[in-house]
Amino acid sequence: MTGALYDAFARQIRYLRVSITDRCNLRCIYCMPEEGIPLMRHEDILRFEEIRRLVEIAIGLGITRVRLTGGEPLARRGVVELVRMLAALPGLEDLALTTNGTLLAPLAEDLARAGLRRVNISLDTLRPERYRAITRRGELSDALAGIEAAQRAGLDPIKINMVVMRAINDDEVTDLARLSLERGWHVRFIEYMPLGREPALARERFVSMQEVRARLEETLGPLEPAHVEGSGPARTWRLAGAPPMAGTIGFISALSEHFCATCNRLRLSADGRLFPCLFSDVELDVRTPLRRGADDEALRQVFRQAVAAKGPGHQLDRYVTTTSHTMSRIGG
């Protein structure tokens, strides 16, 4: 190892999120416009060998956890081989993947054999018609089949992510939370983030995690602190009296109670740019020096520069109107 990564606020950076594609088979209303987005050119996307080299360099700097994201990472051909390449890297302690689950069923077993440890699956509703409305083209049955396949393949713990939106799906938070008891899933509720959206719409849809928790405790009873592997920014709880095999309930409150003070991550976009934060104006091009033959030390320096650019917290409020970033580009 060539030295751990610490930012200016004494946070050790140990986690790298890697977007491997900007393409997605869905058009979720909180992530992408219905018509889609201008896609990156094929030649601008990092090749698997390039991703492997950058992850290996990151591991040498103290990164121990990697999560593959998109877009929809399973939409990229050959993703199982990429997982195999990364899982073989010495020093990588955890390799996970975030997916909408609709393409997961036929791949889950192969991904687990290749070395994937676990998955996070987006599931914003349990109602088929509502699922089609939120995703604009998806089928709930495909996502549920993906979750079941992940469980059979041993990709545990199964984490389910629900973006809570007022008057759209917030009436289902109790139903989703019950699945932590009935299915053993680890259900995480996420505040709606106004990335590139109009302020009025953001305020209209926003539901704080404090409100979600109050609803759950009113209907399901008190929550007690719990822990789940790789919980990241989620504050994790368990329903009081839940059996040992039950899952947990997590709250990710990027707006109302941000978790920036403990942020330990960098983000690598599909086109080879390092972001200190999902909501940062700073992006460092690592693809160009990589393709021009830079040695490992030069590439390590780009990682160090990205860490040095991490601020004390996000500035999400101004991103409502100013950002041109999309979740599918840098892996939300």
CATH number of 82's domain = 3.20.20.70
Would residue 5 count as lying in a domain?
A: no
In this structure, are strands 94-99 and 65-69 parallel, antiparallel, or unpaired?
parallel
Would residue 8 count as lying in a domain?
A: no
Would residue 145 count as lying in a domain?
A: yes
Would residue 239 count as lying in a domain?
A: yes
List the end-to-end C-alpha distance of the chain, in Å, as a whole number: 29
Q: How far apart are CA 151 and CA 118, in angstroms?
A: 10
Would residue 1 count as lying in a domain?
A: no
Would residue 7 count as lying in a domain?
A: no
Q: Which residues of 224-254 are buried (b: 16+ CB within 10 A; e: fewer)?
A: eebebebbbbbbbbbbeebeeebbbbbbbbb
**What sections of the chain are H helices per DSSP?**
48-60, 79-87, 108-114, 128-135, 140-153, 173-182, 199-205, 209-220, 287-291, 296-308, 316-322, 327-330
Structural domain including 312 reads: 15-330
Would residue 225 count as lying in a domain?
A: yes
Would residue 29 count as lying in a domain?
A: yes
Number of compact structural domains in the chain = 1
Task: Divide the 332 residues of the chain into consecutive groups of 10 and give the mean pLDDT of each group.
Answer: 84 96 94 86 97 98 97 97 98 98 98 98 98 97 98 95 97 97 95 70 89 96 85 80 91 74 90 89 95 98 95 57 50 60
